[in-house]
Amino acid sequence: MAVDYLYPDYEIIRNYDRCIACRVCERQCANEAHEYLEDSNKLVSDDAKCVNCHRCVSLCPTRALKIVKTDHTFKENVNWSGKSIKEIYKQANSGGVLLSSMGNPENYPVYFDKILLNASQVTNPPIDPLREPMETKVFLGAKKVKIERDENGRLKKNLTPHVVLSMPIMFSAMSYGSISYNAHESLARAATEMGILYNTGEGGLHEDFYKYGPNTIVQVASGRFGVHKEYLNSAAAIEIKMGQGAKPGIGGHLPGKKIVGDISKTRMIPEGSDAISPAPHHDIYSIEDLRQLVYSLKEATGYTKPVIVKIAAVHNVSAIASGIARSGADIISIDGFRGGTGAAPTRIRDNVGIPIELALASVDKRLRDEGIRDNVSIVVGGSIRSSADIVKAVALGADCVYIGTAALLALGCHLCRTCQTGKCNWGIATQRADLVKRLNPNMGYKRLVNLLTAWQHEIKEMMGGMGINSIESLKGNRLMLRGVGLNEKELEILGIKYAGE
Amino acid sequence: MREGMFRNLSGCAISGIISRSGKRFSGKSIIDSIASMHDRSNGLGGGFAGYGIYPEYKEYYAFHIFYDNNTAKKESEAFLEEHFDIINLSKIPTKKIPEITDEPLIWRYFVAPLPTKLADSQLDEREFVAKCVFKVNTTIDGAYIFSSGKNMGVFKAVGFPEDVGRFYRLEEYEGYCFTAHGRYPTNTPGWWGGAHPFALLDYSVVHNGEISSYDANRRAIEMYGYKCTLQTDTEVITYIIDYLHRKKGLTFGEICSVIAAPFWSTIEGKSQEEREELEFLRNAFASQLITGPFSILVGFEGGMMALNDRLKLRSMVIGEKDDFVYVASEEAAIRVIQNDLDKVWSPKGGEGVIITLEKGTI
């Protein structure tokens, strides 16, 4: 029906003076947006198929291509945006739920951008990380200290197991299935080289990657795919996934057509069957059930590994976190409402959950007020975009951050937000062999190492400016933060002063 | 504006003298020492701590209290009578001098916890006393207990330290250890309680520096029941030392490895046993690490500890002569009272110097 015709959001502009008809764009586009016309020796494009991933633009040898936002428009209407109108047409046509990928792109406040950092002047010297030691090493786990001594008076090293990181950054959970083998290999190798951890997500652990175990977090999610004793014992830590920032209250669904070959084997489910992760864990309907799973996993691994409980940042996140901190978990991971995803219902992604900055500030304060902050470490994600976001998160009270989208960007992701189609031209969110091989793990891992190296150096520069030479002295150090453009309530929740105060 | 309403940053001078054999000596020499560093203070705060100064009352807690008015005094004394047996009370003797003005009421009480109250509280005696000190300082308007240890006392005021010493007639006291502080705050405090040393029970701290870890330390220590009402570095450092020493039972050597922890690169070079111990301390007490410049002198019953920050961003010199040990921000402040030294040296960053009395001396 004509009413269903939607003019594409983006147009492919080809400069025919530059185009040499080499057909690279045609070969590179898994969405088949480019077509070669033999008769006229000319390439043409179908804007409707373009997802704006820049693959063709990046590889065009003569820079003949660019993608622009269309100026085609509905009659202007503040209330009924073009986006709202188009979504109604789509749903009136399909009767289906709208799907989206990656983090919430809507215009909500980004609190990190309204927080500014301090630096030393006169009364206290700034420290130059190129001249002086500057420490970013982090331990994650419970710090319930009871001093005990042996018969010679020496301290007993009686802390429960910890994870040791060279810097307060980990790669967040992205399953094998939602991203490719080569993407996983890049993450695992980069984590190993840099002394941090990556996270398997809920898709199990490919047998080739057991060797990266000391730098791996294995996830136990509601579908329990790929979970077995060897899997649990191979890792540095175990994460129970209760929720995800992009889709709080929602499970997952990897369609049967993606459950092929190694993915089927790794997830331990038959080829072609849908992998459905239920919304809740069906053995966890309340906090006391969570405690049982935490201790089941500890029993299975002989109390040698910390257990992480990951939750989405929702309205009563601090009360939930307080419950988790008493459940035997060693680490709480909180995922903000801007966190990424391979696929989520659009309405959920864009309307459910709260900003990570507020969730973090509120959880850190609640746990301190209740005297149980030492029971757990706090890891936050969704969305951490730069080293400055990390410094601000740590100063608000985080022990460490998770990065997902930033890591994928380093691997070549251009945030076209169409992961759900499985046709990622950059070889990341796809299982098509011809696309996967476009991501060379030798180069991918190096780019991740570069990113982490750069961020670590920037973190040290910012810490040095503040006169702090070890990351633990930044943790929860909210006097190092000031707000701009925030109201009294926001400042109160963040626990920071206004700039100039 | 009163101390505690804003964050007050200070530069400073510190000095300390201890006799290892527990020989008692007059407070005159510590005044002479700190006076030589006059230019490191700006007249906005000075003070002293003396140890072994109340031998006749050594079984009792000596409370030194500032009162803004008689109402605060009445209210506080009612509280003290309810919780303690008051053995002796008096005004602290002072001498009127033009350099020191606007003094509050300054009183001293020798007390012992009432056995019934103590039993009811289910606390050990020192915790009971500390809780009572916090209670008075946070709930009675105009009252401030600034010294609460046994056989020790803090004397402090707004003014240059040498004038503060004369005001309190410190030369008339004899003790085995004295520490002193001259303050150079960047804001005007105008309140005597904000001067240093800062003390809780028998722990007293004088400090020169500005710690960059302040809010991390403050928020961590407040979780363990301490209340940082003054917003000064010295206050939070004192609470950290009290927490680690009294509540957790760490030795002063171990405390140095926590608050001015060796760098990881240094720890890696140690023997396995030492490495494991240092790693345990840094991990377990990560929130008690102090960064940024500081030199501190910690007085405690039977000893004194001197410590610099891990990068040694503040000066501190140690001199030794016979059984006396001198510590000061400047060597001149030692030489002015003892020029004939057996040994003079500067401890490294993070290297704690702990001087304890020889056994059986007090």
Contact A475 B216 (CB under 8 A): yes
**Which amino acid is present at A195?**
G
Q: Please tell me the distance in Å from B75's CA to the nearest CA on chain A.
A: 30
**From the list B186, B222, B291, which residue is nearest A470 (CB)?**
B291
* A441-465 helix and A387-396 helix, angle to the nearest 10 degrees: 50
Label residue A20 exposed, middle or buried (CB < 10 Å: 0-12, 13-18, 19+). exposed
Angle (CA) B99-B299-B212 rounded to 5° is 80
Count Cβ neighbours within 10 Å for each residue of A59-78 and write b for 16 or more, e otherwise.
Answer: bbeeebbebeeeeeeeeeee
Pair B130, B200: CB distance under 8 Å:
yes
pLDDT at B187: 59
pLDDT of residue A5: 82
Chain A positions touching B314 (Cβ under 8 A) are none
B69, containing H or E segment: none
- Asked if A314 and A172 count as a contact pair (C-beta separation under 8 A), the reply is no
Neighbours of B231 (CB within 10 A): 19
For residue B223, the distance in angstroms to the closest alpha carbon of chain A comes to 5
Residue of B nearest to A394 (CA): B216
b vs e for A224-259, b when ≥16 Cβ sit within 10 Å of the residue's Cβ?
A: bbbbeeebbebbbbbbbbbbbbbbbebbbebeeebb
Q: Where are the domains of chain B?
A: 10-51+173-191+203-356, 54-150
Q: Give the CB-side neighbour count of residue A286, counting CA atoms within 13 A.
A: 1
Residue whose C-alpha is closest to residue B158's, from B9, B5, B2, B297? B2
DSSP B132-175: HHHHHHHHSTTEEEEE--BSEEEEEESS-HHHHHHHTTGGG-EE
* CA-wise closest residue to B355 among B6, B61, B7, B22: B22
What is residue B361's predicted lDDT score, i.e. its pLDDT?
A: 61
Q: How far apart are CA A254 and CA A273, in angstroms?
A: 9
Q: 3-class SS at B49?
A: strand
pLDDT at A6: 86
How far away is chain B from the Cα of A127, in angstroms, using its nearest Cα?
9
- B213, B223, B263 member nearest A477 (Cβ): B213
Which pLDDT score is estimated for B1?
Answer: 55
- Cα separation of B236 and B227, whole Å? 9
Chain B positions touching A468 (Cβ under 8 A) are 212-213, 291-292
Chain B residues lying within 8 Å of A479, measured CB to CB: 7, 214-215
Q: What does the alpha-carbon distance between residue B229 and residue B332 come to, in Å, rounded to a whole number?
A: 35
User: Between chain A and chain B, how many beta carbons pairs sit less than 8 Å apart?
Assistant: 104
What the block records as the tokens of B303 is 């000893």
B215 and A480 within 8 Å at the Cβ level: the answer is yes
How far is the C-alpha of A395 from the C-alpha of A495, rounded, in Å? 11
ipTM of the complex in this document: 0.92
- Among chain A residues, the shortest Cα distance to B288 is held by A473
Least confidently predicted of A251-265, A421-435, B104-118: A251-265
Domains defined along chain A, listed by start: 2-96 (3.30.70.20), 138-498 (3.20.20.70)
Report the top-level CATH class of B10-51+173-191+203-356.
Answer: alpha beta
Strand partners, A219: A239
A473: which chain B residues are within 8 Å (Cβ-Cβ)?
Answer: 212-213, 216-217, 289-292
Decide if A477 and B215 are in contact by the 8 Å CB cutoff: yes
Residue A481: beta bridge partners?
Answer: A117
Model pLDDT for residues A74-88, shown as the tens digit of each residue: 999 999 999 999 999
Nearest CA in chain B to A478: B215
Q: Which CATH superfamily is domain B54-150 in?
A: ACT domain (3.30.70.260)
Helix, strand, or coil here: B219?
Answer: helix
Would you please indicate which residues of B are annotated as catalytic (active-site) residues?
A: 12
Cα separation, B195 vs B161, in Å, equals 10
Q: Is the pLDDT of residue A260 over 90?
A: no
Place of tokens 């109108």: A85
- pLDDT means per 10 residues, chain B with 362 residues, are 62 91 96 92 89 97 97 97 96 95 96 96 96 95 96 95 96 97 73 90 93 96 91 92 96 97 97 96 97 95 96 94 96 95 96 90 58
Residue A166 in contact with partner chain B when CB distance is under 8 A = no
CA atoms within 13 A on the CB side of A458: 13
| Residue to substitute from A473, A474, A478, interface B, most B β-carbons within 10 A | A473
For B199, the 3-state DSSP assignment is strand
Would you call B215 and A476 a contact, using CB atoms and an 8 Å cutoff?
yes
Mutation site for A-interface testing, chosen from B7, B219, B250, B280 by largest number of A Cβ within 10 Å? B219
pLDDT of amino acid A2: 79
Side-chain half-sphere exposure of A207, counting CA atoms within 13 A: 6
CA dist., res. B239 & res. B198, Å (int) = 10
Cα–Cα distance, B157 to B45 (Å, whole number): 6
Kindly determine whether residue A135 and residue B210, on different chains, have CB atoms separated by under 8 Å.
no
Which tokens go with B345?
């040296």
pLDDT on residue A267 = 92
SS3 content of chain A, % helix, strand, coil (to 5): 35, 15, 45
Nearest to B35, CA basis, from B174, B155, B165 = B165
Which chain B residues are Cβ-neighbours of A123 within 8 angstroms? Answer: 9, 11, 186, 210
CA atoms within 13 Å, Cβ hemisphere of B156: 34
- Distance, in Å, from the CA atom of A160 to the CA atom of A139, rounded to the nearest integer, reads 11
* Structural element, H or E, at residue A207: none
Any chain B CB within 8 A of the CB of A137? yes
User: A353: distance to nearest CA of chain B, Å?
Assistant: 27
Query: What digits encode the pLDDT tens for the residues A452-482?
Result: 999 999 999 999 999 999 999 999 999 999 9
pLDDT value at residue A255: 79
> Chain A residues with CB inside 8 Å of B276's CB?
157
Neighbours of A497 (CB within 10 A): 14
Give the gap in angstroms from C-alpha B279 to the nearest C-alpha of chain A. 9
CA distance A390 to A384: 7
Residues near A286 by Cβ (< 8 Å), separated by ≥ 6?
none
Task: Compute the distance between CA of residue A260 and CA of residue B129 in angstroms, rounded to an integer.
Answer: 70
Least confident segment among A262-271, A357-366, B54-63: A262-271
Return residues 366-395 of A near B (CB < 8 Å): 368, 371, 373-374
d(CA A382, CA A335): 5
pTM for the model stands at: 0.95
Closest residue in B to A127 (Cα) is B292
Closest CB to B311: pick one of A143, A368, A469: A469
Q: CA-CA distance, A226 to B219, in Å (whole number)? A: 41
Cα→Cα distances B169→A341, B130, B174, Å: 72, 28, 11
CB A188 within 8 A of CB A216: yes
pLDDT over 70, % of chain A:
100
**B10-51+173-191+203-356 with B54-150: one CATH topology?**
no
Question: Residue A156 CB: number of other CB atoms within 10 A?
Answer: 11
- The chain B residue lying nearest A395, using CA atoms, is B216
The 3-state secondary structure of A97-133, one letter per residue: CCEECCCCCCCCCCHHHHEEECCCCCCCCCCCCCCCC
A3 contacts chain B (CB < 8 A): no
Do residues A359 and A336 make contact, with C-beta atoms less than 8 angstroms apart? yes
Q: How many CA atoms lie within 13 A of B206 on its CB side?
A: 35
If you average pLDDT over every residue of chain A, what do you get?
96
Q: How is residue A500 written in tokens?
A: 């100039």
Which residues are CB-neighbours of A233 under 8 A, at least 6 positions away?
A: A300, A301
- Cross-chain Cβ contact B214/A477 below 8 Å: yes
Q: Backbone phi, then psi, for A67, in 5-degree steps?
A: -115, 130
B76's enclosing H/E stretch is: helix B70-83
Determine the Cα angle at A163 with ends A157 and A169, to 5°: 140
Contact B27, B184 (CB under 8 A): no
Structure tokens given for B253? 């050597």
- Contact of A407 with chain B, judged by CB distance below 8 Å, is answered with no
Half-sphere exposure of B152 (CA within 13 A, CB side): 31
